[in-house]
């Protein structure tokens, strides 16, 4: 269907191309929005995970200090802090991806408005 639509758009003049482009933009917009929502949800989970890691690391340090018998919990604290660092890195990557998605969504909306205005202007000139 997409190949047939591309052939139709290419072979039927500028109006058909504009209509095809408009349809394509309308098709992509929900996917971009859904992806943006998922990225936002994952980022919230990452923040929550980071908070839990911080809390657990603090608790391990407190337990280590309160123990009468010397337990070496430092390696576990280091592992938790390393995991926290990785969570922060992933969160930064997700934040950048979400910003790109936001810009893409904005561009799609802007292009849709522009194309709709062109189509309407073309329709009014033909009458």
The CA distance from 17 to 25, in Å, is 12
Orientation angle between helical segments 14-66 and 2-11, nearest 10 degrees: 140
The CA distance from 78 to 104, in Å, is 39
112 and 104 in contact (C-beta within 8 Å)? no
pLDDT at position 126 is 44
The CA distance from 82 to 9, in Å, is 53
DSSP letter at 69? S
CA atoms within 13 A on the CB side of 118: 14
pLDDT at position 62 is 84
Summarize pLDDT for 34-90 with one digit per residue, the tens: 888 888 898 899 889 989 988 988 888 888 777 766 677 778 888 888 988 998 899
The mean pLDDT of 96-111, rounded to a whole number, is: 86
**25 Cβ neighbours under 8 A, 6+ residues apart:** 108, 111, 112, 115
């Amino acid at each position: 269907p997409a190949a047939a639509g591309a052939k139709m758009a290419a072979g039927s003049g500028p109006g058909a191309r504009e209509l095809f482009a408009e349809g394509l933009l309308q098709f992509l917009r929900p996917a971009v929005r859904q992806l943006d929502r998922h990225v936002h949800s994952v980022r919230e989970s990452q923040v929550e995970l980071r908070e839990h890691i911080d809390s657990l690391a603090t608790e391990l340090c407190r337990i280590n200090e309160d123990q009468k018998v010397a337990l070496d919990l430092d390696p576990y604290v280091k592992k938790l802090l390393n995991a926290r660092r990785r969570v922060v890195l992933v969160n930064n990557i997700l934040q950048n991806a979400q910003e790109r998605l936001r810009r893409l969504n904005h561009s799609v909306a802007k292009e849709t408005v522009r194309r709709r205005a062109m189509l309407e202007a073309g329709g009014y000139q033909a009458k």
